[in-house]
């Protein structure tokens, strides 16, 4: 464990030596609850070892997958704060994994590792996912800085973000996304969605929705809530992918998974 890993490039080994102390006390932090969990998807054992030690020395908890299928499975299971993703992998390619992660978890930071020369061909795919990337060989200090910066962006954004299922709402910019696609809503539709998201998984009555979103007491004659839920379902849904807003008979509505 004490020797530098074989990463196939002298400069990597040298940077590991300079960058961090893999046996340092920061490793002890891995068990605590506020440690950031990083998923590393990379098939070269030397780089896995290099990145794992470097990130762990900085206090991150690291789980590694050595092929694309396993990496995608772990990524979509959730529980990670960031993903470090190689592009050239056995099984699923890095770009396929990136696309799947972007659909399921649009705001999860992904830092892509690429070999020199790969980037020109793939920049289109990378821009589609708006990810950060590092060209190999990279220094551990640079990777740590990128991961930290991405986590800061997420922490800042999450203060104004509401999300449930695959819907994300930014309360500051009032942007709405479903599975990574933008959805344009009217002001009232937006307020209704925010109310449903804030009560994610709960059944809310028409009366509760009416007084919270429209701000007046229940008029039994009005069907405005049902009408606007209809608008929202239509705008959020796509063929084969209905909006996750369910009617609870004689009570009201629930945003969540089907039950
Ligand atoms: Ca590779």
| Cβ pair 203, 178 in contact under 8 A | no
d(CA 103, ligand 1 centre) in Å: 23
d(CA 115, ligand 1 centre) in Å: 8
d(CA 83, ligand 1 centre) in Å: 15
d(CA 116, ligand 1 centre) in Å: 12
With both helix axes pointing from N to C terminus, report the angle between 45-57 and 10-19 in degrees, rounded to the nearest 10.
Answer: 10
Helix (H) or strand (E) holding 170: strand 167-170
d(CA 84, ligand 1 centre) in Å: 12
Q: What is the pTM of this model?
A: 0.54
d(CA 225, ligand 1 centre) in Å: 52
CATH number of 10-158: 3.40.50.2300
Taking the domains of the chain in order of start, what are their residue ranges? 10-158, 162-255
d(CA 113, ligand 1 centre) in Å: 9
Please compute, for residue 153, the number of CA atoms within 13 A of its CA located in the half-sphere on the CB side: 13
251: left (phi over 0), alpha (psi -120 to 50) or beta: alpha
The terminus-to-terminus CA distance of the chain in angstroms comes to 50
d(CA 87, ligand 1 centre) in Å: 6
d(CA 89, ligand 1 centre) in Å: 5
Structure tokens at 180: 């990574």
d(CA 51, ligand 1 centre) in Å: 13
The one-digit pLDDT tens for each residue of the chain (259 residues) are 444 444 444 344 334 433 344 443 343 333 444 789 999 999 999 999 999 999 999 999 999 999 999 999 999 998 999 999 998 899 999 989 988 888 888 778 899 888 766 666 556 555 555 467 888 889 999 999 999 988 887 777 777 888 888 899 998 889 999 988 999 999 999 999 999 998 888 899 998 898 888 876 667 678 899 999 999 999 999 888 899 999 999 889 999 987 6
d(CA 111, ligand 1 centre) in Å: 14
d(CA 93, ligand 1 centre) in Å: 9
Please give the CATH architecture assigned to the domain spanning 162-255. Answer: Orthogonal Bundle (1.10)
């Amino acid at each position: 464990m004490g020797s530098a890993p074989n990463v196939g490039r002298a400069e990597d080994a040298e940077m590991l030596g300079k960058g961090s102390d893999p046996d340092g006390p920061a490793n002890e932090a891995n068990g605590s609850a506020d440690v950031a969990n990083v998923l590393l998807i990379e098939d070269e054992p030397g780089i896995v070892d290099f990145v794992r030690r470097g990130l762990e020395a900085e206090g991150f908890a690291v789980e590694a997958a050595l092929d694309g299928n396993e990496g995608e499975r772990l990524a979509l299971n959730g529980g990670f704060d960031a993903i470090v993703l190689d592009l050239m992998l056995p099984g699923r390619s890095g770009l396929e994994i990136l696309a799947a992660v972007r659909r399921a978890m649009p705001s999860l930071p992904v830092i892509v590792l690429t070999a020199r020369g790969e980037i020109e061909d793939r920049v289109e795919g990378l821009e589609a996912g708006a990810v950060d990337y590092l060209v190999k060989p990279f220094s551990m200090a640079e990777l740590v800085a990128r991961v930290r910066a991405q986590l800061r962006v997420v922490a800042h954004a999450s203060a104004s973000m509401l999300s449930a299922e695959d819907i994300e709402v930014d309360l500051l910019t009032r942007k709405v996304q479903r599975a990574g696609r933008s959805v344009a809503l009217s002001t009232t539709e937006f307020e209704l969605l925010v109310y449903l998201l804030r009560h994610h998984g709960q059944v809310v009555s028409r009366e509760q929705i009416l007084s919270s979103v429209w701000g007046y007491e229940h008029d039994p004659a009005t069907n405005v809530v049902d009408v606007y839920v209809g608008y929202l379902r239509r705008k959020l849904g796509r063929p084969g992918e209905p909006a996750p807003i369910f009617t609870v008979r004689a009570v009201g509505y629930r945003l969540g998974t089907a039950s």
